[in-house]
């Protein structure tokens, strides 16, 4: 097939890049999903929807998990399914109160594997302090999906009156913080999938961040915006910030925490670590005056020991995301286009 044929095909049918968290997926969401279903709440395209009742505000979100393989160093599909939904609620400023668990299982799936994954769901839910309160199970014929199991979790969180987060609150001069090393999850899954052995075992960072985020908010940090850099990585989140706030973002390469083994693996396999998925990371935008206090709170938490101030919000026309390299050069950071890493979460 020529490039033109491939382009024509991607206009007619779903291709894997439509699920990659990049430009292709953004177009699918805009031109098809929002075209059919768009409304004021959905159009925000935030990590969760804020729903107001007469007495309170809730955050509501859902996420499906198709990771292959089901188990990898540092986690499995069960831990991911809990952490992914909890983190989407937490980055909206919510206090998660309950989860659903939907399972689609192929016939022939080993019950011992299912038990291991359910125990992992239970462990992660207990760690986060958020129970699974409802669920659904479907069994389908063999031969769909390859791994034998898909999960979906939805979650609900309470949203405190004092919490107001959004792209519109981001200001030039704000600091951009992250709670630790980037790229761990994506490179861990990729290394087991391809049977690649590195000298150090690469471990997923999958973790529930509701505790860390609650401590930041309780400390009175005036958080402007948060997002978890999952598919599309840090590059995807910064591109969203820049596009939606209409402001530039400057990141300093030597301040971005990356494990040595992850950096080596990414370089060897030709991945830009800034676009690789994380499952236990949050990007925060805070006023510069709150920066050190926020970092102090984060570093005291077990999931924030390597928290760092990686850059700042700037004015810019057009607004760009730029990486200031170790040698002082500048490189434009692009949102990944399509499928960097299939079935990573
Ligand atoms: Mg998210």
Q: How many domains does the chain have?
A: 2
Q: Please tell me the distance from the alpha carbon of residue 161 to that of residue 266, in angstroms, as a whole number.
A: 42
Same domain membership, residue 141 and residue 63: yes
CB atoms closer than 10 angstroms to residue 192? 17
Are 98 and 153 in contact by the 8 Å Cβ rule? The answer is no
Task: Output the CA 268–ligand 1 centroid distance in Å.
Answer: 28
Q: How many whole angstroms from 172 Cα to the centroid of ligand 1?
A: 23
DSSP 334: P
Domain end position, chosen among 121, 141, 159: 159
Centroid of ligand 1 to alpha carbon of 154 (angstroms): 13
Q: Among 159, 177, 195, identify where a domain stops.
A: 159
Give me the pLDDT at residue 75, please. Answer: 96
Query: Does residue 17 lie in a domain region?
Result: no
**Residue 106 alpha carbon to ligand 1 centre in Å:** 27
How many angstroms does the Cα of residue 141 sit away from the middle of ligand 1?
Answer: 31
DSSP code, position 208: -
Determine the distance separating the centroid of ligand 1 and the alpha carbon of 228, expressed in angstroms.
5
Q: If you measure from the C-alpha of residue 289 to the centroid of ligand 1, how many angstroms do you get, rounded to a whole number?
A: 26
Identify whether residues 138 and 179 lie together within a single domain.
no
CATH number of the domain enclosing 203: 3.90.650.10
Residues with CB under 5 A from ligand 1 (ion): 47, 88, 228
- Print the domain residue range for 107: 46-159
Which H or E element spans position 330?
Answer: strand 330-332
319 vs 314: CA distance, rounded Å = 8
Q: Are residues 202 and 258 in the same domain?
A: yes
Residue 254 has what DSSP assignment? G
Q: From ligand 1's centre to the CA of 2, what distance in Å?
A: 35
Same domain, 220 and 308: yes
Q: Which residues pair with 330 in a beta bridge?
A: 324
pTM, entire model: 0.94
Q: Are strands 132-140 and 75-76 parallel, antiparallel or unpaired?
A: unpaired
Q: In this predicted structure, what is the pLDDT of residue 252? A: 98
Rounded to the nearest whole angstrom, what is the distance from the C-alpha of residue 8 to the centroid of ligand 1?
Answer: 30
Residue 288 sits at φ, ψ, to 5 deg, of -55, -35
Location of structure tokens 């992914």: 84
In angstroms, the CA 227 to CA 15 distance is 26
Note whether 248 and 323 are same-domain residues.
yes
- Each residue's pLDDT, cut to its tens digit, for the chain (345 residues) gives 566 666 666 678 999 889 887 888 989 999 999 999 999 999 999 999 999 988 899 999 999 999 999 999 999 999 999 999 999 999 999 999 999 999 999 999 999 999 999 999 999 999 999 999 999 999 999 888 889 999 999 999 999 999 999 999 999 999 999 999 999 999 999 988 877 776 678 999 999 999 999 999 999 999 999 999 999 999 999 999 999 999 999 999 999 999 999 999 999 888 999 999 999 999 999 999 999 999 999 999 999 999 999 999 999 889 999 999 999 999 999 888 776 678 889
The pLDDT, as a whole number, for residue 317 is 86
- Shared domain check, 181 and 314: yes
Q: Is residue 34 part of a domain?
A: no
3-class secondary structure, 309: strand
Q: Report CA(28)–ligand 1 centroid distance (Å).
A: 17
- pLDDT of the residue at 220: 96
Do residues 298 and 307 make contact, with C-beta atoms less than 8 angstroms apart? yes
Q: Are residues 184 and 301 in the same domain?
A: yes
Q: Please tell me the distance between residue 20's alpha carbon and the centre of ligand 1 in angstroms.
A: 13
pLDDT of residue 191: 87
Domain C-terminal end among 132, 159, 186 = 159
């Amino acid at each position: 097939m020529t490039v033109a044929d491939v382009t024509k095909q991607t206009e007619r049918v779903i291709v894997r890049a439509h699920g990659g968290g990049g430009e292709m997926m953004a177009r699918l969401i805009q031109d098809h999903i929002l075209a059919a279903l768009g409304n004021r709440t959905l159009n925000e395209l935030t990590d969760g929807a804020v729903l107001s009742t007469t007495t309170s505000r809730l955050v509501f979100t859902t996420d499906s998990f198709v990771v292959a393989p089901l188990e990898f160093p540092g986690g499995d599909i069960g831990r991911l399914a809990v952490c992914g939904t909890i983190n989407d609620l937490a980055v909206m400023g919510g206090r998660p109160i309950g989860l659903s668990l939907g399972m689609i299982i192929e016939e022939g799936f080993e019950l011992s594997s299912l038990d291991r994954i359910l125990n992992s769901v239970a462990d992660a839910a207990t760690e986060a302090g958020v129970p699974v309160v409802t669920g659904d199970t479907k069994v389908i014929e063999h031969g769909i999906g390859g791994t034998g199991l898909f999960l979906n979790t939805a979650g609900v969180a309470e949203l405190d009156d004092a919490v107001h987060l959004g792209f519109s609150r981001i200001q030039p001069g704000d600091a951009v913080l992250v709670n630790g090393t980037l790229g761990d999850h994506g490179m861990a899954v990729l290394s087991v999938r391809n049977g690649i052995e590195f000298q150090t075992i690469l471990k997923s960072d999958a973790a529930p961040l509701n505790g860390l985020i609650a401590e930041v908010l309780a400390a009175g940090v005036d958080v402007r915006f948060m997002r978890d850099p999952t598919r599309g990585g840090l590059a995807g989140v910064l591109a969203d910030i820049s596009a939606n706030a209409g402001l530039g973002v400057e990141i300093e390469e030597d301040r971005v925490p990356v494990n040595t083994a992850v950096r080596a693996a990414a370089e060897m396999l030709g991945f830009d670590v800034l676009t690789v998925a994380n499952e236990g990371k949050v990007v925060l935008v805070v006023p510069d005056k709150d920066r050190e206090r926020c970092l102090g709170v984060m570093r005291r938490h077990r999931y924030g020991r390597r928290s760092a101030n990686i850059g700042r919000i700037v004015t810019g026309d057009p607004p760009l995301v730029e990486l200031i390299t170790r040698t002082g050069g500048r490189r434009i950071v692009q949102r990944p286009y399509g499928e960097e890493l299939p079935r990573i979460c």
